[in-house]
Structure 1
Amino acid sequence: MNTKPITIAKYWRWFFYAAATYNFVIGGAGLANAAAPVNDRIVGLLVLGFGIVYAFVGRDPARFGPVLWAGIIGKLGIVGLLLPDVIAGKAAAGTGYILAGDALFTLGFFAFLLRKG
């Protein structure tokens, strides 16, 4: 029986803290925009909430890492829903950059979840 503890490379912790910070900034900005429609502010709140999840993963990746599947679904969903408007030039300025960030974090989440050992 192998009782060796699971070790997670330190850079993964920093990666998840970066994802949390990213979501805090993007979600917080959306939530704080009093001029935005309530649906947009709700999205900001949900993005902020996912930031809390990523902070938990950063604190203990071995324990909380599996919840990243929800983050993958959420980030891919946002990219899938908003990318057509970005391509058509109908999205708000900067949306393409936000989607690029979401796509990069999604790739990192996949890399973490599919890693060996």
Structure 2
Amino acid sequence: MKFWRIFMFAAAAFNLLIGVGGLLDPAATVEGRMTGLLVACFGVVYALVATDIARYRPMLWAGVIGKFGAVALLGPEVAAGAYPAFVGPILVGDAIFATAFLWLLMKPPAWARMNASDGDVL
């Protein structure tokens, strides 16, 4: 349980750092700042998930879709040089977090199954 809690707070920090950075970038367009705001909001969601993973883990579906979607949409653009090179490592981070979220959703760890309040296996 401790690993996943730390992992979720790391995901929150990742999104908050990138999102707030984009939001506060004076050179960013309105669309860029809006993207930063939404990325930061996902960071808030991940922090909430970290407080009670068994309860809030279904919210990770939004992260799986958003992060894999970002990789699918921006990856080819980054590879073609249409975006700055620093976006590539961010997309790698997104892919790592999305894969871990998906694993957690599809095969929850034993502590999540044992802590199901209604007796059902998660």
TM-score (norm 1): 0.90
- Give every structure 1 segment of 4 or more consecutive aligned residues whose post-TM-superposition deviation is greater than 6 Å: none
Aligned residues: 109
SS where residue 19 of structure 2 aligns? helix
Unaligned runs of 5+ in 1: 1-8
Deviation at 1:93, TM superposition (A): 2.5
Unaligned runs of 5+ in 2: 114-122
Task: Find the counterpart in structure 2 of residue 33 from structure 1.
Answer: 25
- Cα distance between partner residues in 2 of 1:12 and 1:113: 12
- 1:55-74 aligned within 5 A: 55-74=47-66
TM-score (norm 2): 0.86
Q: What is the aligned-residue identity percentage?
A: 50
Higher-RCO chain (CA-CA 8 Å, sequence separation at least 6): 1
- Cα distance between partner residues in 2 of 1:81 and 1:112: 24
- Cα distance between partner residues in 2 of 1:39 and 1:81: 16
Report the aligned-residue RMSD.
0.9
Deviation at 1:30, TM superposition (A): 0.3
SS where residue 77 of structure 1 aligns? helix
- Cα distance between partner residues in 2 of 1:34 and 1:77: 26
- Cα distance between partner residues in 2 of 1:28 and 1:16: 18
Task: Find the counterpart in structure 1 of residue 67 from structure 2.
Answer: 75
- 1:1-117 aligned within 5 A: 9-116=1-108, 117=113
